[in-house]
Amino acid sequence: MWEAPETIGRYRIIREIGAGGMGVVFLAEDQVLQRQVALKVLRPQPGLTPEKQAALAERFLRECRVAGRLTHPNIAKVYDAGEDNGCLFLTMELVHGDSLRDRIDLLGPMGPPQAVDIARQIATALSYAHSRGVVHRDIKPDNISVSPTDRVKVMDFGVARLATDITVSSPGTVIGSPSYMSPEQIQGGDVDGRTDVFTLGTVLYEMLTGRRLFQGSSVPEVAYKIVHTEPDLGGSFPPRLRALLRRALAKDPRERFATAEQMLTALRDPLLLRWDLAAGDRREDDSALGVPVAAPGRSRVLMIGLVGGYAAAIAGTLIFAGPAAVSLAAGGAAVALTARLAGGARSSALAGWGALCAAVLAAAHTWLDW
């Protein structure tokens, strides 16, 4: 059983404030700068040879130096990192608030507006980090702090890559829960910013429902579901929000948002939380987010609007062949055709009825001219 010393480096340990699969977090005092910090101490990893332990320490320090250059209001600042008597450690700004994990466990599901607001802040932090070549790799509720005013801080940049390395270096060892891993992480594939997009999707789902998206009685069962099973997006979500989740959670990274910035743009969509969309608009919303969707038959309202509009326009032109009839009916049909090709379901239907009205008005105008 590992016991923490009273001091590590220049930091005096005050008390433990958290623990996870990789290490322990302490409230500590920087005895040089005389300020309180969060000190994360990584437990010694059994089963690693001295050579692997040394390589791991070197890579950890290198990753922490990269993370230490990240300065963003939604990222917990990394102050220092080092090794003391065989203990790898890093210090971060002391964030006041609860972890998102504690928030969900205590209060349960969030309403869509609150969940989306938190997801936007996480996506903002990820977009900034990705633009500087840093991928988090371990986005999960435990690594996200939320203040009483819902200000988000993403933590543990620079540590997640170490967790992956330990897992790979020690076959059969799993660090933490695999519930928030992406398919490519589980399969040992290449990892980039789209991995963070996937895991942010799982976190957003959990905020909305209060439960993990991928669950199972064993680690292999959870891993199998992440790689092979399409998630059941149960729950009641606005249509565009459901489409956003479906895209973020695509098994193939090529079908996800290409960047966290793209996902952030979708999260800022003013219609994201709208419920009052017709069935045709729901399919349109999926396409607007770039989600591959099936192509069922158009709604009856849409078909009636288009066919009726075109037929009435043609009839008006043939029967009432005056100049006004031709111009108005042809104009109405052109508007309907344009909306059909470039617009959505609702605008197409309205334009179709507009063509019908144009033809009727053209007929009436020609009759009055007679």
The residues carrying an active-site annotation are: 138
Residue 125 is encoded by which pair of tokens?
A: 């932090």
Produce one character per residue of 72-95: b if its CB has 16 or more CB atoms within 10 Å, e if not.
Answer: bebbbbbbbbbbeeebbbbbbbbb
Residue 287 is encoded by which pair of tokens?
A: 């396409």
SS3 140: coil
51 burial via Cβ count (<10 Å: 0-12, 13-18, 19+): exposed
Q: How many C-beta atoms surround the C-beta of residue 133 within 10 A?
A: 9
Q: How far apart are CA 139 and CA 18, in angstroms?
A: 17
Tell me the backbone φ, ψ of residue 54, rounded to 5 degrees: -65, -40
Q: Which of 236, 229, 240 is nearest to 209 (CA)?
A: 236
First to last CA, the chain: 101
Q: How far apart are CA 348 and CA 308, in angstroms?
A: 12
Distances from the Cα of 285 to the Cα of 157, 211, 228, 282, angstroms = 34, 26, 26, 5
Query: Which residues share a beta bridge with 92?
Result: 38, 78
Can you spell out the DSSP letters for 60-89? Answer: HHHHHHHHTT---TTBPPEEEEEEETTEEE
Query: Which residues share a beta bridge with 11?
Result: 8, 30
Q: What's the chain's Rg over C-alpha atoms?
A: 28
Helix (H) or strand (E) holding 39: strand 35-42
Q: Pairing mode, if any, of strands 35-42 and 87-92?
A: antiparallel
